[in-house]
Amino acid sequence: MHAHLADLRAEVQRRGDAVPPQWFERLAQDWRAAELEPVERALCAYAVKLTLSPATMTALDLDALRNAGLADEAIHEAVQVVAYFNYINRVADAVHVDLEPDMPPYPAPETNAPRHPRG
């Protein structure tokens, strides 16, 4: 999450958009609390559902994205990005990839089990 947030900050800065730092913090804590455009909100909801319960996806989920203004090409791209991040995170979790050195550590586990890099 921290690395993705840093990437977003860099992209916003590159584009020259004026975004207050607290916006990034609200987004990192809970995207529902951040000021998002309707299409961004629809994409976040779709990404959460695709990540947590992919077998429950229906045509209605696609309709929500279309109703938010996305064309099928943009929806296809979003699906590819969400699916790729889910894939690569699972690969990293499977082989216990360590966090990058500049990333804050996750809280210590409650047991003596090996530390899982994604919390």
Polymer length of the chain: 119
CB 38 within 8 A of CB 66: no
pLDDT at res. 116: 47
* CA-angle at 58, arms to 92 and 78, nearest 5°: 45
Where in the chain are the domains? 1-35, 36-100
pLDDT tens, residue by residue, 52-104: 999 999 999 999 999 999 999 999 999 999 999 899 888 988 888 877 776 66
Longest Cα–Cα distance of the chain, Å, equals 49
Q: Which two tokens stand for residue 97?
A: 């990839």
Domain 36-100 in this protein, CATH class = mainly alpha
Distance CA 22, CA 24 (A): 5
Output the average pLDDT for the chain: 84
pTM of the model: 0.74
